[in-house]
Structure 1
Amino acid sequence: MPVTAPSQPATDAELIARWQSGDQRAASALVERHAPSVARFAASLGVREEIDELVQDTFVRAFQSLESFRADSQLRTWLFTICKRLLLDRKRAERRRRDVAEIDERDAATEYDALDVMVGDELAERLRDAMGGLTDLQREVFSLRVNEGMAYAEIASAVGSTEGACRVHYHNALKAIKERLRDA
């Protein structure tokens, strides 16, 4: 009896093509594959409430503009970019509605994030405090590298910077965090 090789999961490009041909299951497969990463990314940006809504809006926006997706980057990176833009749009709209000052960096760094699940409360709080001293860009690069395991090229695409600059931001963030944890 011949042994058949297990079938490989469809690539993102294959799923996109199937969805564009009318296969709704392909869209579901893309959401199942990437929604957890988009949710962790949103949490790393300080989102505490309505993460599911933000993830859903990210996919709605992605599916509406899928023809503009350039396959020279990974779909996950593109989804992170959409999520970040949606979050920035929401923050701007909220600021306009309430006419309040922007959230202080230290407040954003102490919000719930995916690290709370992985480490004990005390260590998580110390790490959040240490991250409070980072710039927004350093915190974002650090989170994408540590939480998502993204390569510097992917991070650069997601944050709109260069690979070299992202390496420097990550290095500086890591150094600052180590110093703050050592001094705490």
Structure 2
Amino acid sequence: MTINNDQQYIDRVLKGDTNAYAFLVDSYKDMIYSMVLKMTNNREEAEEISQDTFIKGFQNLDKFKGESKFSTWLYKIAYRTCLDAIKKNKKHNNTYEINDITMNQIQSVETILQGIERQDRSRMMKECLNKLPSEERSLLWLFYFDELTLKEIIEVTNLSEANVKVKLHRARKRLLTVVKENVEPELINHYGRK
């Protein structure tokens, strides 16, 4: 949906046409659910948080000032709601040590994964990402898969630019550790060579 279309529906909702919100929900439900599922790794929880996101969005629609895209504003609500749920549940304590990993090794993740069939690569990447702590996993998804800009991620997370860059760098390092521990050593040896 375009920014102008979003604003038209937002204006209609603010004028009392609550049914117009259904169009916004339909436009963004898959995007929000996808992001939430990647953060929580739990379908039921993702459905609940997605619904909560849209309820909070509706309740706070008058606070949307149009300074960013509506989708970014919803991402921010979803992201915060996920973090709250994760803190409440404390279910996601996946930790991997970040050893002394060099930039060349970080870049080798792409080289390794390029040699694996696309479907297998997708499955392996998802499995590896799911082993990361939720904040790191969500930052990587927002940046690489949802293709949010750095500015949009800063807005969604309320983190500084430097903090987002540092967290993305650490997430990449941790992902490399996970890939090395979970992808068959032969694949790493074969595809990881320069």
TM-score (normalised: structure 2): 0.66
1:67 maps to 2:62: yes
AA aligned opposite 2:167: H
Paired with 1:34 and 1:46, the residues of 2 have a C-alpha distance of 18
Match of 2:85 in 1: 90
Equivalent in 78, 81, 94 of residue 105 of structure 1 = 94
Match of 1:17 in 2: 11
**Residue-by-residue CA offset, 1:94-139 (whole Å, 9 max, x unaligned):** x4xxxxx653125xxxxxxxxxxxx63x535532454367554332
TM-score (normalised: structure 1): 0.69
AA aligned opposite 1:38: I
Match of 2:51 in 1: 56
Match of 1:159 in 2: 157
| Root mean square deviation of aligned Cα | 3.0
User: Matched residue of 2:43: which SS?
Assistant: coil
Paired with 2:70 and 2:60, the residues of 1 have a C-alpha distance of 12
AA aligned opposite 1:104: N
Match of 1:109 in 2: none
Paired with 1:181 and 1:102, the residues of 2 have a C-alpha distance of 22
In 2, are the aligned partners of 1:131 and 1:177 still within 8 Å (CA)? Answer: yes
Q: CA deviation at 1:73?
A: 2.2
Paired with 1:160 and 1:128, the residues of 2 have a C-alpha distance of 26
Paired with 2:60 and 2:3, the residues of 1 have a C-alpha distance of 24
Query: Which shifted more, 168-177 or 77-86?
Result: 168-177
Count how many residue pairs are aligned between Structure 1 and Structure 2.
Answer: 159
Paired with 1:127 and 1:162, the residues of 2 have a C-alpha distance of 27
- Structure 2, unmatched stretches of 5+, are 96-117, 184-194
| Structure 1 residues 10 and 68: alpha-carbon distance in aligned structure 2, compared to 1, 3 A threshold | closer
Query: Which shifted more, 35-44 or 74-83?
Result: 74-83
More helix, by proportion: 2
**Residue-by-residue CA offset, 1:32-83 (whole Å, 9 max, x unaligned):** 1111110011011024132333222211111111122232222222212222
Paired with 1:179 and 1:88, the residues of 2 have a C-alpha distance of 24
In 1, are the aligned partners of 2:40 and 2:82 still within 8 Å (CA)? Answer: no
| Structure 1 residues 159 and 14: alpha-carbon distance in aligned structure 2, compared to 1, 3 A threshold | same
AA aligned opposite 1:32: D
1:177 maps to 2:175: yes
In 1, are the aligned partners of 2:37 and 2:43 still within 8 Å (CA)? Answer: no
In 2, are the aligned partners of 1:130 and 1:176 still within 8 Å (CA)? Answer: no
User: Matched residue of 1:153: which SS?
Assistant: helix
1:36 maps to 2:30: yes
